[in-house]
Structure 1
Amino acid sequence: MPKMKTKSSAKKRFKITASGKVKAAAAGKRHGMIKRTNKFIRDARGTMVLAEPDGRKVVKNYLPNGL
């Protein structure tokens, strides 16, 4: 059976760290920022590490061969 292909959309959205954790950009920053608090805007900068169960799902279903 051939290898599963990596999903192109997942390649652009997720990065796998050296320890195997999955990093992604914080959600909720596209529009409607006027009603968000300054703390939310600050905290949403950069990337965040996904929770362990979510990271496992991403790797298993979308990034089977890593990046």
Structure 2
Amino acid sequence: MPKMKTRKAAAKRYTPVGNGKFKRKRANLRHILEKRPQDAKKRNSKTGYVHAAESEKVRRMLPYAAKLSKKK
């Protein structure tokens, strides 16, 4: 059986965490930030987690990272 390919775009966006979840960066923090409230900018600067409904898709895109992040 051939090796499974990792989706490189997903590998750049998501990081596996030890509890089986994936970390991600939040959007809306690139430009036009003067108009945005300070609390919104602070909230978006923190990392978030992939929602449970989407985590199976991310796990399929990252077949080898998923082994690192599975619960033991």
Above 0.5 in TM-score?
Answer: yes
Q: What residue number does 2:52 align with?
A: 52
Structure-2 residue corresponding to 1:32: 32
2:27 partner amino acid: A
Structure 2 CA distance, aligned partners of 1:29 and 1:55?
Answer: 23
Q: CA deviation at 1:46?
A: 2.8
Q: Aligned-residue CA RMSD in angstroms?
A: 1.5
What is the number of equivalent residue pairs in this alignment?
A: 66
Q: Any gaps of 5 or more consecutive residues in structure 2?
A: none
More helix, by proportion: 2
Segments of 5+ residues of structure 1 without an aligned counterpart are none
Aligned counterpart, 2:13 = 13
TM-score (norm 2): 0.79
Which amino acid in the other structure matches residue 62 of structure 2? L
Displaced runs of 4+ in structure 1, greater than 4 A?
Answer: none
Q: Identity, % of aligned pairs?
A: 35
